[in-house]
Amino acid sequence: MKKTYLIIFVFLFAFTSFNSHAQDDELVNVCALNIGNATYLKDFKVKLQQSNVKPAPSAKFSVVLNKGTIYKVNICEAEGYEGRAIVKLFDGSTMLGSNEKADGSLLNAIGAQIQKTGVYQINVSFKDGKEGAAVAILSFMNVN
């Protein structure tokens, strides 16, 4: 009897895990269609629980960016979550860009021309600490 429960548990766990990854990959694929005239480099999947902590928790990703290149970060949110994704690009403590405008509205992407080669940080959080899931896609602009 214990073997039966164990087999059922393993099967359900594997199916749930696969289904979650499939949804993440689908969001990446949909978001990648929106990068326009850019070349896909990397995606960053983010899922954060609701939090009342100020500032809101964020997922932080380090990336090496090259001088003179124009980079773009597109952000796409998963359905079924209240959180609206905020993405910020930092060079050390200097913010180079954010998809959050001064009036609080959010854009679907940010862009920046990099002035020096180095390690930069992409931070993704959710507005007002709401629970959310999103994917950020880093690409570079094809300037012809």
pLDDT of residue 27: 74
pLDDT of residue 13: 44
Helix (H, G, I), strand (E, B) or coil at 87: strand
pLDDT of residue 56: 84
pLDDT of residue 23: 54
pLDDT of residue 20: 43
Residue among 132, 136, 119, 120 nearest 57 (CA): 132
- Set out the domains of the chain in order of their start, with CATH numbers: 2-141 (2.60.120.380)
| Residue pLDDT tens, the chain, 144 long | 455 443 444 444 444 433 344 456 787 877 887 788 889 999 999 999 998 888 888 999 999 999 999 999 999 999 999 999 999 999 999 999 999 999 999 999 999 999 999 999 999 999 999 999 999 999 998 775
pLDDT of residue 122: 97
DSSP code per residue over 12-81: HHHHHHHHHHHHHHHHHHHHHTT--SEEEEEEEEEEE-----SSPPEEEEEEEE-TT-EEEEEEEEPTT-
pLDDT of residue 62: 97
pLDDT of residue 24: 64
Looking at the DSSP bridge assignments, the partners of residue 95 are: 90
